[in-house]
Structure formats: C-alpha cells, structure tokens
Amino acid sequence: MNKENIAGIKSRFFEDISNSQTEKSLYDVKVKYVGRNGELTKILKNLKNLPPEERKEIGPLANRARHEIEKAYEERKKELGERIDWEKEKIDVTLPGKKEEIGSLHPATLVYREIEKIFPLMGFEIVEGPELETDWYNFTSLNFPFDHPARDMQDTFWIKSDKKKLVLRTHTSPVQVRYMEKRKPPFRIIVPGRVFRNEATDAAHEHTLHQFEALVVGENINVGHFKYIAKLFFSAFFGKKVDIRLRPSFFPFTEPSFEFDISCTVCAGKGCPSCKNGGWLEIGGAGMVNQNVFVSAGYPRNRYQGFAWGFGIERLAMMKYKIDDIRWFESGDLRFIKQF
Ligand code: PHE
C-alpha cells in the first residue's frame, strides 16, 4: 500500500514541478509534498508506527524519495532562475521616454562660485563666520556708536537670549575682527556669507541677502591697492574692462569710507537705461579700516593699514543675469531657478 503511495507521490511531484513556471508556484509544490504537513512528510512521520518488516522496506524508499524530491526541486529552481522572462523583457519602443529632471544652481551660488574662482588667483583666502552674531562682533567691535540706527529693532533682527545679546548678522564685516583676533598681518581674505535685515521688501530690498566682504591688511596698504584689485576682479567677473569710481561716504568701521561704483556693464559708461543714463552702477561700500577696529582685534593703533569692502551678491547677479527684482532670489520659485 505505502509502496505504491510513494511511487505515486513521486510521479505527481515531478509532473507538478514541470508545470510550475515561477519560483513561487514551484515552492508551493515543494511544500505540498515535503513541507511540514506534506504528503511524503506524513508517511515519514508515520514510519515509527509501522510493523518492523514494513518499516524496513518503506523507510529507505521514503527517504530516497525525499532526497530525489529535494534535488529535483533545486534543479528546477535553477532552471527557472536562468530562464529569460520574455514578458518582462519586452520593450515597447512606442512608449514616451522617462524624463530626467536636471537641477540647476541658484544664481547666488553661481556668483559665489565665480568669485571663489577669481580671488584665490590673487592670493586671497576664503573665510567664513557665523550667521548668528554677538552684538560685539556685529556692532561694538566695528566702532558702531550706541545710538546708531542699525542697532534699532526696525533695522535688525535681534534674538531673545539669556546670555549675550545675539543678532542675525546684518553684514559680513563681523568676520573682520573674528579673523584678525587669530591672525597677524599681512593677509588678504574674502568672506562670503548670508546676512539679514529687518527690511520692508520691494524690488530692490530683501530681508535675507548674500554679501562678500574683502579685507586686505598690511603695513602699507592704500586706496590704490583697493582700486586696483577691485578693477581686476570686476573685469574678470564681467568678462570685460570695468572702471571703478569712488564717492565719499560713511561707515563707522572705515576711515575714509566710500560708496563704490563700476562703469555700466551694458553701455561701458556711455549712458543707457540700465544705468539710468549715468554711466555708473552702484555696487557697495568700502574704505580704509578704521584704527579702532584694529584695536578691537588686539592690534596696536596705527601700526597697520588695510582696506575692506562689502558687496551684495544679489546686486551682482542682477547685473550679470539681468534680473529685475531682488525678491526672486528668496522666492523659492522654480521657474526662476531653472533659468540658470
Ligand atoms: N558692511 C557694510 C554693509 O553691509 C559694507 C562695507 C564693508 C563697507 C566693508 C565698508 C567696508 O553695508
């Protein structure tokens, strides 16, 4: 009785596996015969209840059948694994292609990268500082009087804090003293970074801006060095000859101080709508480092001289890429970013 059963189980098993076309159904077949409650498993479990003679005869048969089944299962599995699934391999060449979305860099990043390429060629080091500053570095060390309007709540984001008076830095100039505390002249640095102002925004004003500061200090640095380096930089940046114009101005941390213009990059100074017919474009502030700032940094008074400037990255990007409204930069609007 059992003998025939085993032969039957084997032949049904072989038929079932040759009909299985997937690894999953193949596995189900295996479970059906040699799983925990499989047909052959039942016979094997029952061996101990058989009379000794029968056990002697059936035992080896059943065990051999189990090995054969397991071996055949492995072979079939390998076969199925190697088989090419033509359904899956089929390619419909008439389907539309998958679109690759390619990102692009923000124009402020592009300008930074350009700047960071040019200045190291002139021996400048790139230095950064924190966006959350103390009153000391942002204002006091830079010679701001206590009643200066930049210290007002209206102009500046003050942070509530139990310890020091903290402020979202209003310019990159605080890095001047931070750097000088650690280094002795001569040196040349640029400081790229984000700055914040409590502004009512319009086409020309934003609350979050990017600047880059330059600071060159040595024993005999003068305004001529500043003009020369500025001219080299802006000519390289715009890819054409650019002239520089300085107008007297005031900053607490420079003396003398300047407003700084470049010749119009559209008309080269002749006058056009871009420069409102003036021939010049306003770029930023600059000046010779005030001796009080050197003293804040721990240098002796009147030992060194240096120049500093602070320019807005957005302004430069607006000129270079002809962007009409500064609010685009922080808008998060992908239609804007994708153009660069
Ligand atoms: N920090 C000044 C500003 O943000 C610019 C400046 C920098 C002026 C360095 C002079 C020297 O307006």
CA atoms within 13 A on the CB side of 240: 10
Domain assignment present for 294: yes
Assess whether 203 and 282 both reside in one domain: yes
Considering only 43-57, 76-90, 161-175, which range has the smallest mean pLDDT? 76-90
Q: Specify the pLDDT at position 214.
A: 97
Residue 138: CB within 6 Å of ligand 1?
no
* 187 or 332, higher pLDDT: 187
User: What are 135-190's pLDDT values in tens digits?
Assistant: 999 999 999 988 888 888 778 999 987 777 899 999 999 999 999 999 999 999 99
Q: Which atom of ligand 1 is nearest to the CA of 211?
A: 4
**Ligand 1 centroid, distance to 8 Cα (angstroms):** 94
- Of 26, 54, 87, the last residue of a domain is 87
Residue 93 lies in a domain: no
Among 253, 314, 316, name the best residue to mutate to test ligand 1's pocket (greatest count of ligand atoms within 8 A of Cβ). Answer: 253
Determine what percent of the chain falls in helix, strand and coil, rounding each to the nearest 5. 45, 20, 35
Q: Find tokens 């000794």 and name the residue.
A: 52
- Same domain? 17 vs 158: no
Atom 2 (ligand 1) nearest CA:
310
Do residues 69 and 131 both lie within one domain? no
- Residues 88-141 have pLDDT tens digits of 888 888 988 888 888 889 999 999 999 999 999 999 999 999 999 999 999 999
- Tell me, yes or no, whether 98 lies in a domain: no
Cis peptide before 185 (omega within 30 of 0): no
Ramachandran angles phi, psi of 213, nearest 5°: -100, 150
Distance (angstroms) between ligand 1 centre and the Cα of 214 equals: 9
Residues 200 and 277 in one domain: yes
Looking at 31, 57, 87, the residue that finishes a domain is 87
Please tell me the distance from the alpha carbon of residue 304 to that of residue 4, in angstroms, as a whole number: 108
Other C-beta atoms within 10 Å of 80: how many? 17
305 and 205 in a common domain? yes
Q: How far is the CA of 201 from the centre of ligand 1 (A)?
A: 20
Domain C-terminal end among 53, 87, 121: 87
The C-alpha atoms of residue 88 and residue 90 are separated, in whole angstroms, by 5
What was the pLDDT predicted at 165?
84
* Number of domains making up the chain: 2
Contact 157, 167 (CB under 8 A): yes
Q: Report the separation in Å between the CA atom of 310 and the middle of ligand 1, taken as the mean of its atom positions.
A: 4
CA of 40 to the centre of ligand 1 (A): 89
Residues 249, 323, single domain; the answer is: yes
Q: Is residue 101 situated within a structural domain? A: no
* Interval between CA 251 and ligand 1 midpoint (Å): 7
Average per-residue pLDDT for the chain: 92
Beta carbon of 171 within 6 Å of any ligand 1 atom: yes
Task: Check pocket membership of 173 for ligand 1, CB cut-off 6 A.
Answer: yes
Q: Calculate mean pLDDT across residues 71-78.
A: 92
167 and 42 both lie in a single domain: no
Nearest to 215 by CA among 199, 246, 191, 232: 191
Judge whether 224 lies within some domain: yes
Same domain as 191, residue 62? no
How far is Cα 134 from Cα 8, in angstroms, rounded to an integer? 88
Find the farthest-apart pair of alpha carbons in the chain and give their distance in angstroms, rounded: 118
Query: Collapsing DSSP states into helix, strand and coil, what is residue 203?
Result: coil
Cα–Cα distance for residue pair 248/252, rounded to 1 Å: 13
Q: Is 217 in the pocket of ligand 1 (CB under 6 A)?
A: no
Determine how many CB atoms are found less than 10 A away from the CB of residue 97. Answer: 5
CA of 337 to the centre of ligand 1 (A): 28
**Which tens digit of pLDDT belongs to each residue from 219-254?**
999 999 999 999 999 999 999 999 999 999 999 999
What domain range is 195 assigned to? 107-337
- Clarify whether residues 82 and 51 are in a common domain: yes
Q: Is the CB of 212 under 6 A from ligand 1?
A: no
